[in-house]
Amino acid sequence: MATSPVSGACLCGAVRFEIETPTLFSAHCHCSMCRRAHGAGFVTWIGVPYERFRVRAGEDRLVRYRSSDHGTRSFCGTCGSSLFCESTNHPGYLDIVLANLDPTVDAPPQAHFYFDDRVPWVAIADELPRFGGPTGTEPR
Ligand SMILES: [Zn+2]
Ligand SMILES: [Zn+2]
């Protein structure tokens, strides 16, 4: 199935990238690392296979931070936008912040992960499935 690419960028525009849909998943993450990395109540990620992802500009501006044994987060060294998360737990795809993509991207969120770790000041009123527990992925 041929699809047209969807473009994404950081706040300052130095880092530009492109994905092709369909994405593997789209989900909200409430874990404390995502909250701190993004300065947000929760973060919405999409999973994209590496073969459907390209950095078009600013590869040299990407700063990588190893946030856990298995995870490395990338952000723009100029403006600080959090962009990608890669994990040795899933070498076939990377996580990309949905908010940095062109809003026309067809990737509606499907679930909440690490729901038990959510902050009390964010009201979640949707009907999406919720997962939590120590792994963040156990049904709630
Ligand atoms: Zn930037
Ligand atoms: Zn997270």
Nearest to 38 by CA among 92, 90, 94, 95: 95
User: Is the pLDDT assigned to residue 83 strictly greater than 70?
Assistant: yes
Q: How far is the CA of 137 from the centre of ligand 1 (A)?
A: 31
User: Using 50, 70 and 90 to split pLDDT, how confident is the model at 110?
Assistant: very high
Q: What predicted TM-score, i.e. pTM, was given to this entire model?
A: 0.94
Identify which ligand lies nearest to the alpha carbon of 61.
Answer: 1
Q: How far is the CA of 59 from the centre of ligand 1 (A)?
A: 11
| Ion ligand 1 contact residues with beta carbon within 5 A | 10, 12, 14, 76, 78-79
User: Is the pLDDT assigned to residue 2 strictly greater than 80?
Assistant: no
The pLDDT assigned to 1 comes to 56
Question: Domain 6-139 falls in which CATH fold?
Answer: 2.170.150
Q: How far is the CA of 58 from the centre of ligand 2 (A)?
A: 25
CA angle 94, 113, 17 (to 5 degrees): 25
Cβ within 8 Å of residue 4, ≥6 positions away = 20
Identify which ligand lies nearest to the alpha carbon of 113.
Answer: 2
3-state SS, the chain, equals CCCCCEEEECCCCCCEEEECCCCCEEEEECCHHHHHHHCCCCEEEEEEEHHHEEEEECHHHEEEEECCCCEEEEEECCCCCEEEEEECCCCCEEEEEHHHECCCCCCCCCEEECHHHCCCCCCCCCCCCEEECCCCCEEC
Radius of gyration over every alpha carbon of the chain, rounded to an integer in angstroms: 15
| Ion ligand 2 contact residues with beta carbon within 5 A | 29, 31, 34
58 contacts 16 by C-beta, under 8 angstroms: yes
Q: How far is the CA of 134 from the centre of ligand 1 (A)?
A: 33
